[in-house]
Amino acid sequence: MVKDEDALLVDRFKKGEEKAFNELVKKYMKRIYYLAYSLTNNHADALDLSQEAFIKAYRSIHRFRGRSSFYTWLYRITVNICLNHLKREARKKEVSFDERIEVAQVDWWINPKKALENKELQENLTKAIGSLPPQQKAVFTLRYLEGLPHKEIASILGCSIGNVKANLFQALQKLRNKLKGYVEG
C-alpha cells in the first residue's frame, strides 16, 4: 500500500526528523487555527489553543497508529482542547442560550454576496453560533464551516453518526429561532 504524504511525514518525524513535523504544521496551521477560531470566536484563544493542539500532537505522535488520517487525528485533538476550553469558560460565566437576536429584515437570499458583506448579519451569525452549547457548536462548525462529512465528524468527536445528526438538527433549530428575523416572514 502506498502511504500518503502525511503518513510519510509522520514516519519521518517518529524517526526523529524535526523538519517533518514543521512540514505538518505548515500544511495544517491555517485549518487548525480557523477551526479553533470558529469554535472560540476569539483570535487570541484560537492562536493559543491551536498551538496547544500542535504541541499535544508533537508530544503524543507515537500514539498515532494511522488508523485514521493524520488530519482527522489532529482535528480530534483540536476539538477536544477547544471543547475543554469552552466548558471551562461556560462554567466561569452563565451563558443564556435563549436570547433572541432582533434584526431588521434583510433580503439576504436575494443577494447573498451583499449579505456576506453585511456587517450586522455577520455579527448576528457569530453571536448565534457562539451561543450554541459546546457539543452542538463543534458538530455545527465541523459540518457547516469545515464541510466535513457526518462519518468523519463522528470519528473526530468519538460519537455515533446518529448523534452527529441529532446535534446538527438541534443546532439548526436553535439557530433558526435565534435568526428568526432573517429566515421567517
Partner 1 sequence: MISCRKVKRWMIDYLEGTLAEKEKVLVDEHLSKCSQCAQEVEVLVKTQKLVRLKARKEMPEGFWAHYLPRLRRRLEEKPLSRLEWRPVPTLALATATALVLLVVTVNLFRTPSLNLESLPRKVLVREVVASNSELDYFIADSFEPEEIVQALIPQEMLNSLMRGGEMYETL
Between 21 and 73, name the residue whose CB sits nearer to partner 1: 21
Query: What nine digits make up the cell of 134?
Result: 459546546
Q: Which is nearer to partner 1, 61 or 83 (CB)?
A: 61
Residue closer to partner 1, measured from CB, 50 or 156: 50
Q: Any alpha helices (H) in 109-160, and if so which ranges? A: 112-117, 119-130, 134-140, 150-157
Q: Which stretches of the chain bind partner 1, using CB under 8 A?
A: 13-16, 18, 21-22, 25-26, 29-30, 33-34, 37-38, 43, 51, 54-55, 58-63, 108-109, 112, 115-116, 121-122, 125-126, 129, 140, 144-145, 150, 165, 168-169, 172-173, 175-176, 179, 182-184
Q: Are 109 and 156 in contact (CB under 8 A)?
A: no
CB of 116 to partner 1, least distance (A): 5
Host H or E run for residue 61: none
Query: Which run of H or of E encompasses 14?
Result: helix 5-14
